[in-house]
Amino acid sequence: MKKWLMPALQTVFVGLLVVSFYATSWFGEQYVLRAEPYDPFDPFYGEYVMLQYPDLDAPAGIRDGTIYFTLTEADDGYAVIDRIEERPFFGAINGYKYDRRVVAPQLENFYVEQGRGPELEAAVDLEVTIDVAPWGSIRPVSIAPREE
Amino acid sequence: MEWDRKLAQWRSEGLIDQEAVERIQAFETRQPKKRKLPLLLIIGLIFFALAVFSFIAANWQAIPPIAKVGMVVLLMWIFYVLAHFSEKKHFGHPIIFRILGYTMFGASLVVAGQAFHLGTSSSIVPWALFIAALAHFFTWRHTAFTIISFISGISILSAAAPGVGFIEWGLFIAVTLAWFFLSKDGPAMIFSWLLLLGSGFLVWSIWDIDSPLVPIWTLFALVPLMLIVPKDKQKLLAPLYLITGGIQLVTFLAIRGESDMRFVELNMIESVILAVVGAGIFVLAFFRFRSLMWLGVLGFVGFMLYDETAIALAIVAELTALAYLIIAQRQDKPLAMGFVYFIVVQFVIYVIYAWERLDMSLFFLIGAILLFVLSGIAWWLNRKKEGAVS
Q: Is the pLDDT of residue B300 over 50?
A: yes
- Give residue-wise pLDDT tens across range A8-35: 999 999 999 999 989 999 999 999 998 8
- The answer, for B108 touching chain A at a CB cutoff of 8 Å, is yes
Test A5 with B136 for CB contact under 8 angstroms.
Answer: no
The pLDDT of B203-228, averaged and rounded, is 88
Structure confidence at residue B223 (pLDDT): 94
Contacts of A6 in chain B (CB under 8 A): 80, 101-102, 132, 135-136, 139
Test A11 with B73 for CB contact under 8 angstroms.
Answer: yes
- The answer, for B216 touching chain A at a CB cutoff of 8 Å, is no
- The answer, for B129 touching chain A at a CB cutoff of 8 Å, is no
The least confident of B2-16, B51-65, B88-102, B137-151 is B51-65
Quick one: pLDDT band at residue B34, thresholds 50, 70, 90? low
The least confident of A51-55, B18-22, B31-35 is B31-35
Q: Is the ipTM of this complex over 0.85?
A: no
Interior CA angle at A140 toward A78 and B75, to 5°? 170
Structure confidence at residue B8 (pLDDT): 87
Q: What is the DSSP string of B269-332?
A: HHHHHHHHHHHHHHHHHHHH-GGGGGGGGGGGHHHHTT-TT-HHHHHHHHHHHHHHHHHHHHTT
Q: Output B371 or B102, whichever has higher pLDDT.
A: B102
Max mean pLDDT range (B86-95, B260-269, B361-370) = B86-95
Test A18 with B117 for CB contact under 8 angstroms.
Answer: no
Structure confidence at residue B390 (pLDDT): 45
Q: Output B121 or B74, whichever has higher pLDDT.
A: B74
Structure confidence at residue B315 (pLDDT): 92
Test B132 with A6 for CB contact under 8 angstroms.
Answer: yes
Domain positions in chain A: 2-145
Q: Is the pLDDT of residue B301 over 80?
A: yes
Quick one: pLDDT band at residue B386, thresholds 50, 70, 90? low
Structure confidence at residue B101 (pLDDT): 94
Chain centre to alpha carbon of residue B207: 27
3-state secondary structure (DSSP) of residue A77: coil
CA-based end-to-end distance of chain B: 63
Distance from CA of A3 to the nearest CA of B (A): 8
The pLDDT of B68-76, averaged and rounded, is 93
- Edge to edge, the sheet with strand A79-85 lists A79-85, A65-73, A93-98, A101-103
Of residues A4, A10, A108, nearest to B132 (C-beta)? A10
Q: Is the pLDDT of residue B38 over 80?
A: no
Structure confidence at residue B331 (pLDDT): 83
Of residues B76, B112, B163, nearest to A17 (C-beta)? B112
- The answer, for B159 touching chain A at a CB cutoff of 8 Å, is no
Test A7 with B114 for CB contact under 8 angstroms.
Answer: no
Test A6 with B80 for CB contact under 8 angstroms.
Answer: yes
Q: Output B277 or A3, whichever has higher pLDDT.
A: B277
Q: What is the Cα–Cα distance from B271 to B258, expressed in whole angstroms?
A: 21
Quick one: pLDDT band at residue B1, thresholds 50, 70, 90? low
- Residue among B173, B278, B305, B188 at smallest CA distance from B236: B188
Structure confidence at residue B35 (pLDDT): 64
Q: Is the pLDDT of residue B233 over 80?
A: yes
- Compute chain B's Rg from CA coordinates: 30
Quick one: pLDDT band at residue B322, thresholds 50, 70, 90? confident
